[in-house]
Amino acid sequence: MFKRAPLIPALTLLLLACSAPTPPAHPVASGGQVYALDIRVGGPQGAQATLQSLRPTQLSAQRLEATPGDVQLGAQAVSAVTFISRRGTQDVRHVNTTFLVTNPTGAPITNLVLLPVALNDTDGDPNNNAMAPTIAGTPFRRLQRFDGQDASAQAPQLSATRAQDLDLQTGVARPHPQGTPFLTDLDLRGVQVTPPAGLSVTTQSGGWLVPGTLAPGASVPVTFAVDFPVDRQHPETQVFSFSLLFTSAQDTTGSEVGGPTDPARVVGTLHPATLGQGALIEEEYVDWDAGETVVAQRVPLAADGQVDFTLSTPPAGALSSLFECSDFVGDRSQPDALIATPRLRVSSREGDLLGVLNTVGLDGSSLIRLYADRDIRVQGRCEDTSLDLTLTYVDQLDLKKGWNLIRRQGSSTDTQYTIQRTSIPAGTWSRLTFPTGGLWVGVASPAWGSELLLRTGQPTAVPFDLRQGGAISGTVTLSVDVPGVTVSPATLTLPSLSGQGLGAQALQTTLNFQADATVPAGDSPMTLTFRKDGQVVGRTAFSLTVTP
């Protein structure tokens, strides 16, 4: 959640034209402004943008705690870019502008976030609206084509994003290394905005972040950016101008936007925070010697979603060679090192998988915590050609004994798969993400391949212990693939795994199997399948024996 941090002056920004065809304890809400960034993509004077604040009497926030004061926006753009690039099968126009934000107050402002907002008409009557709403639940309004015609239908195609630049050799857009990070999936429960008359306000869950503390009198560049698809063959249909509405917030604790990373400590916030009483974080490793998964520690998850614990020393059986191929070219300070990486599962008290914790940098890249049994410096590449394709590791690593932070990225062609591993300095700003696992019903018992003996015409009761993955709930249907064999009940209702007062549980039930007279005596494999809404969400197998 965030504490609102207001921005006040109405200022004009200039977007310099480029050649378009080529190139959180918890923060809480506080008072502030909402702004409209008006952009013209092109024209005789090039691309232009103006920034204006909406009057606080029209749009303000509920103040839940004191704020340090207003932030001041610079009057002139520091830089500006607009270009069209090819992304997959679509041409996309990117436009961004950078300007200075200054803290003119006597107090620091921490982790400033600029959040797009949508103004929605509540009753369909434009006569009682204090100002024009945005379009279709988006933060955009006043979309026009070059000829002045309305282009509102294209509003859902516009998206706020991080600043990009253009690789002139490939024509591919890529994140600008100095672009203001754009974070998504933020918890906005503390951002409460009082809407203008006749409208409701929806704050978007992603925004531009200024990480760290903005000291009194200090300035920092901030970049807004927007992408939208275009048709090069029909430029007359393209969006020429639009307005983006946004507000501001700050996270004084870093619970949402993250903070400097200690590779040995896992710190952050999980959302939804109300994962239920008794939820656990399990630090899990693959024990290569034993051929099984082991849990090094189980950490109770705080009721408010806060995470703060220190990683264990991995078990000896979880350590494996840093170099998974023998043909190394380059420099390394040691012949080899043994490494391990944890998997951080979030599970209900009964063992249901709720999701997996990941660590990401502010540019969205995935960061990995890696344990090494010794210091080792590596700069080089290692290739393995024993497979059908060439597996290549490209390493720039400076690992210390103990826990390290690395960025691991993969790319592939028809004949080669390349993994780049790069050391990231301790203290790099990062945050936790919590993507839920795929919806799945796991069968803890009976074990896969268990024997099932059926006597023709007589039901056989089998106790089952099920595990719900990815917060699956509701009705699932059951079926078997041997004609003449039935399972009952044919449906099960799984409890919810989310929300306050979590009632999730490992589901113990009894299923009855029966073979009719059409099933021949003898042995055969049989699969029991679970489906939800027609999609397979679980399977287990039996070794079936039918006797008269």
Q: What pLDDT shows up at residue 46? A: 58
Q: What pLDDT shows up at residue 108? A: 84
Task: For residue 105, give the DSSP letter.
Answer: S
Q: Structure pTM?
A: 0.67
| 544 vs 536, higher pLDDT | 544
- The band of 107, judged by pLDDT with boundaries at 50, 70 and 90, is confident
Q: Which residues contact 341 (CB under 8 A, 6 or more apart)?
A: 368, 369, 370, 371
Say whether 135 sits in a helix, a strand or coil: coil
Q: What is the mean pLDDT of residues 448-466?
A: 94
Q: What pLDDT shows up at residue 37? A: 79
E strands in 103-188:
109-121, 140-145, 159-160, 164-167, 172-175, 182-183
Q: What pLDDT shows up at residue 132? A: 86
Q: What is the mean pLDDT of residues 160-170?
A: 88
Measured CA to CA, the distance from residue 271 to residue 269 in angstroms comes to 7
Q: What pLDDT shows up at residue 502? A: 37
- The band of 505, judged by pLDDT with boundaries at 50, 70 and 90, is very low
20-53 confidence digits (pLDDT tens): 222 233 333 334 467 777 777 765 555 666 766 6
Say whether 469 sits in a helix, a strand or coil: strand
Q: What pLDDT shows up at residue 124? A: 82
Domains and CATH numbers, the chain: 11-250 (no CATH), 259-433 (no CATH), 440-547 (2.60.40.10)
CB 90 within 8 A of CB 167: no
Say whether 109 sits in a helix, a strand or coil: strand
Q: What is the mean pLDDT of residues 220-238?
A: 91
CB 271 within 8 A of CB 434: yes
| 65 vs 286, higher pLDDT | 286
Q: What pLDDT shows up at residue 266? A: 94
What percent of the chain lies above the pLDDT cut of 90?
A: 37
Residue 503 has pLDDT above 70, yes or no: no
Q: What is the mean pLDDT of residues 118-140?
A: 88
Q: What is the mean pLDDT of the chain?
A: 81
Considering only 34-43, 77-86, 289-298, which range has the smallest mean pLDDT? 34-43
Q: Which residues contact 498 (CB under 8 A, 6 or more apart)?
A: 272, 274, 275, 276, 354, 471, 473
CB 394 within 8 A of CB 379: no
Q: What pLDDT shows up at residue 39? A: 79
CB 10 within 8 A of CB 53: yes
Q: What pLDDT shows up at residue 18? A: 28
Q: What pLDDT shows up at residue 59? A: 34
Residue 135 has pLDDT above 60, yes or no: yes
Residue 487 has pLDDT above 90, yes or no: yes
371-408 confidence digits (pLDDT tens): 999 999 999 998 887 767 788 889 999 999 999 999 99
Q: What is the mean pLDDT of residues 5-10?
A: 37
Residue 58 has pLDDT above 60, yes or no: no
Q: What pLDDT shows up at residue 442? A: 85
Say whether 126 sits in a helix, a strand or coil: helix
